[in-house]
Structure 1
Amino acid sequence: MGNPQRGRVYRRCACRDTAGRQLGARCPKLAGSTHGRWTFAVDLPSLDGRRRTRRRGGFASRTDAQAALGKVLEYERTGIVTDDKQTIADYLTTWLRTKALTLKPTTVARYHDYVTKDLIPALGTTRLDTLSHHHVALFIGNQLASGRGPVTLRRCVATLSSALTDAVRQRRLAHNPARYALVPRPPKYEPTCWSPIEAAKFLRYCHEHDDPLADLYEIIIGTGLRKGEALALHWHDIHLDDHVAFVRHTLSNINNTTPILTTPKTKNSRTWIGLSDRVVTALQHQRLRQPGRDLVFSRRDGNPLRPEYVLHHFHQLTAAAGLPKIRVHDLRHFAATTMLNSRVPLAVIFRAMRHSTLSTTTEVYGHLLRHVAHDAADVIANALDTADAARQTEGDHTATT
């Protein structure tokens, strides 16, 4: 026979004796009646090595109390350390404070907004060890019903999932209830790209009007840099004679108000890039426009340009030049699509765009790779035709012999 389950299940109440002391399990009304509520008690090891009694009550039936006791013992058997008094609010607050030590300030600010404005108000009072997939699904449903956008909602749920994954790693939870949450996928953004004629027209308009940001847009178009990376360029990272520059920083906004220099988006983003003669000329012109400053592009006081100003000014120039409205980031897409349409190998474009993986390049620009499919099919056909021609030549030679 197996060992009996540890712990005990019993009924107790809140009645008190004449001295005001709680009777608990000693109340005479408990015998043979439905008086009181069910409780379990069990000795469990603690972090200091001592065994302490965990007693939890308020269950409507013996079955409920036994199920709760069984869950506690199962957690103990699998090495999960439970704290059934810790709420989601307590856990997320502690998690956020810990993540702030390793994440970018911009990421921490975004997580902080999701945690304090969305997750804690909706799930904060729920105990961490009782959080279920149903809680998460209900949260998603309520958010969608209130008109929350799918992009923001996906990021919010991803934040919760990241926090709960850490709880699983720390042996606080047996599984992550948010891992397989179903959130509607937003429509895939299809970047709008200018043609080379349109891009050339835009740059020509900027230079003809001697726009102060003309060289910035010239560099983004000519290198495929992200907007934040271009705004964070320092002169000591640029080597004009060698036609190269090192991407060391990116400019980000905390809560859309405070510009800050952080590391680039991915590990592959922090690397050397090549500079064309046209880009070198733009940098030389910018040095003459703003001499004696550390940042290549800055305000008069030397502080970084605000990303929202750069975008707003770009839209003004685009309208004035009579061109379709696009994002500044779409200038990066223009650089990539121009290389693709010029039959530059995908591996070279991957390096030039500094994506994290080659699959990222394929995913973003896969819809533009039809010529690659045709080229591949032509290669196979040409190989077969060459083999047939060689065999035919060999057959004719044999017949002649």
Structure 2
Amino acid sequence: MITGCLQQKNGFYYAVLYLKVDGKRKCKWVPTKLPVDGTSNRKAQKAFDEIRLQYERDEEERVKREAEQLELTKNTHPDALLQFTDYIEKWLGAARTSLATTTYQSYSNMIEARIVPYFKPLSLQVREVTPQHIEDFYQSILDDNCTTNTVIHYHAIIRKALQTAVKKDIILKNPADKVERPKKNVFHGNFYSEEEMLTLFDAVSGDPLELCVKIAAYYGLRRSEVLGLKWDAIDFEKKTISISHKVIEAEVDGKFIPVGEDVLKTKSSFRTLPLIPAVEKLLLEEKEKQEMFRRLFKKSYCRDYLDYICVDQCGKLLRPNYVTEHFAWLIEKYGLKKIRFHDLRHTCASLLLSSGISMKQIQIWLGHSTFATTADIYAHLDFTAQEESAHAMSGMFSREPKEVQPA
């Protein structure tokens, strides 16, 4: 416990504290900034108590840090002396089998893109990383005009990697736990009106992306879900379409290739929906085209993806990046309002809302895990609900006019 007293000097109150520095007792004068004249003794004493308490807390924290540092120097774990960048790359390699292909690819890209370039010049061992280092890293991301959502993604990977270090006794505590996670910024995707969608449909007619665009628009599917559709997911007798597979782009031997997975974003992403007649017609036409191309190209036709729906004329699976890039090219070529391929999903939701479809039904149609997810993204578009609220409120807070009795 730090001792001391309240003293007056040059017309002001000072907190005089007796501190131990290197085993010796030293006197420290800390100004309260309170003048002797006009300040009550009680107020001055309160200021002294606050200053003394703060110094006690700082001293406790210093002793705690020294103890932790001493414990770290005793750490004999072989990874304790690794550079942070080497550690996080090693961690990702070990975690690869437990991560989905898309998650692993995303983590790998993030480490290469920002984590290594930022932390490598600092030459920090994994045990030397502090909350301040992590905060400064996050600020560098924001300084590059990235959103807080980008910081949140980096926070997730750094915290997860360091949490593994805690579990393996490489470090005592996770410094990322002391860094405040930024608030997620609200993103509202662009969407087309019904008329704009008809114009887009005309633009993609006969294009290699026609089927992808129209299925994504009708069902609000994610890019990976559209490309993951297989012929056995279509039941032409029962008139249903099942979403249970996806295609993503992964790096294999230094090359990015499309890879199929039976792992969707959430459990709710697995869904069976009615087969829309317009989509059924498109699929039957596509089936005939693919059979014609197989006869036409014979041995040159790729037979590795016969069970997939979205393939090119040679039978090769469409690459996710090609879909994104070619869609952007189409939008620019025809001078259409700029949207992303994923905004077809937002368009589907907005058109369903404007048609009076409930938010709950839209949740199921899009395959969102919770109603809250759907509401958070699309509630601002639900003007029908706002009109109902306005109608309900219009009858409130009003009194019936009193009858005037005849004199």
Tell me the TM-score normalised to structure 1 length: 0.68
Question: By how many angstroms is 1:329 displaced?
Answer: 1.1
Question: By how many angstroms is 1:368 displaced?
Answer: 0.8
Whether the aligned pair in 2 keeps the contact of 1:311 and 1:328 (CA below 8 Å) is yes
Structure 1 residues 85-94 or 244-253, which shifts more? 85-94
Structure 1 residues 273-282 or 285-294, which shifts more? 285-294
Alpha-carbon displacement from aligned partner over 1:37-93 (angstroms, at most 9, x marks no partner)? xxxxxxxxxxxxxxxxxxxxxxxxxxxx98677327889xxxxx9974344234323
Question: By how many angstroms is 1:170 displaced?
Answer: 4.9
Whether the aligned pair in 2 keeps the contact of 1:223 and 1:274 (CA below 8 Å) is no
Residue matched to 1:374: 387
- What fraction of aligned residue pairs are identical, expressed as a percent? 26
Residue matched to 2:264: 264
Query: Following superposition of structure 1 onto structure 2, how do residues 2-401 of structure 1 map, counting pairs within 5 Å?
Result: 70-71=67-68, 84-123=80-119, 125-144=123-142, 147=144, 149-150=146-147, 152-170=150-168, 172-179=170-177, 181=179, 188-207=186-205, 210-254=206-250, 257-262=256-261, 263-291=263-291, 293-319=306-332, 321-376=334-389, 378=391
Secondary structure of 1:100's match?
A: helix
Secondary structure of 1:101's match?
A: helix
Change (3 A) 1:123 1:205: closer
Whether the aligned pair in 2 keeps the contact of 1:232 and 1:304 (CA below 8 Å) is no
Q: Distance in 1 between matches of 2:357 and 2:167?
A: 43
Q: Distance in 2 between matches of 1:67 and 1:205?
A: 67
Which letter maps to 2:193? Answer: S
Unmatched segments (≥5 aa) in structure 2: 1-61, 295-305, 401-407
Alpha-carbon displacement from aligned partner over 1:81-130 (angstroms, at most 9, x marks no partner)? 99743442343233212220111223212212333453345435423333
Task: Output the aligned Cα RMSD.
Answer: 3.6
Which letter maps to 1:247? Answer: I
Question: By how many angstroms is 1:142 displaced?
Answer: 4.2
Unmatched segments (≥5 aa) in structure 1: 1-64, 76-80, 390-401
Question: By how many angstroms is 1:257 displaced?
Answer: 2.7
Secondary structure of 1:257's match?
A: strand
Alpha-carbon displacement from aligned partner over 1:227-257 (angstroms, at most 9, x marks no partner)? 2211121101111222212212222122593
Question: By how many angstroms is 1:157 displaced?
Answer: 3.3
Residue matched to 1:394: none
Q: Distance in 1 between matches of 2:379 and 2:163?
A: 32
Question: By how many angstroms is 1:342 displaced?
Answer: 1.4
Whether the aligned pair in 2 keeps the contact of 1:82 and 1:129 (CA below 8 Å) is no
Q: Distance in 2 between matches of 1:239 and 1:383?
A: 52
Q: Distance in 2 between matches of 1:217 and 1:66?
A: 63
Change (3 A) 1:297 1:84: closer
Question: By how many angstroms is 1:369 displaced?
Answer: 2.3
Change (3 A) 1:170 1:312: same
Whether the aligned pair in 2 keeps the contact of 1:248 and 1:271 (CA below 8 Å) is yes
Change (3 A) 1:72 1:132: closer
Which letter maps to 2:272? Answer: W
Question: By how many angstroms is 1:189 displaced?
Answer: 3.5
Whether the aligned pair in 2 keeps the contact of 1:224 and 1:333 (CA below 8 Å) is yes
Change (3 A) 1:359 1:167: farther
Whether the aligned pair in 1 keeps the contact of 2:208 and 2:312 (CA below 8 Å) is no
Whether the aligned pair in 2 keeps the contact of 1:224 and 1:335 (CA below 8 Å) is yes
Residue matched to 2:35: none
Secondary structure of 1:228's match?
A: helix
Question: By how many angstroms is 1:371 displaced?
Answer: 2.5
Change (3 A) 1:179 1:238: farther
Aligned pairs, number? 317
Q: Distance in 2 between matches of 1:240 and 1:180?
A: 55
Question: By how many angstroms is 1:335 displaced?
Answer: 0.7
Whether the aligned pair in 1 keeps the contact of 2:240 and 2:275 (CA below 8 Å) is yes
Q: Distance in 1 between matches of 2:358 and 2:112?
A: 46
Structure 1 residues 66-75 or 131-140, which shifts more? 66-75
Secondary structure of 1:366's match?
A: helix
Alpha-carbon displacement from aligned partner over 1:253-281 (angstroms, at most 9, x marks no partner)? 22593221232222211222222111111
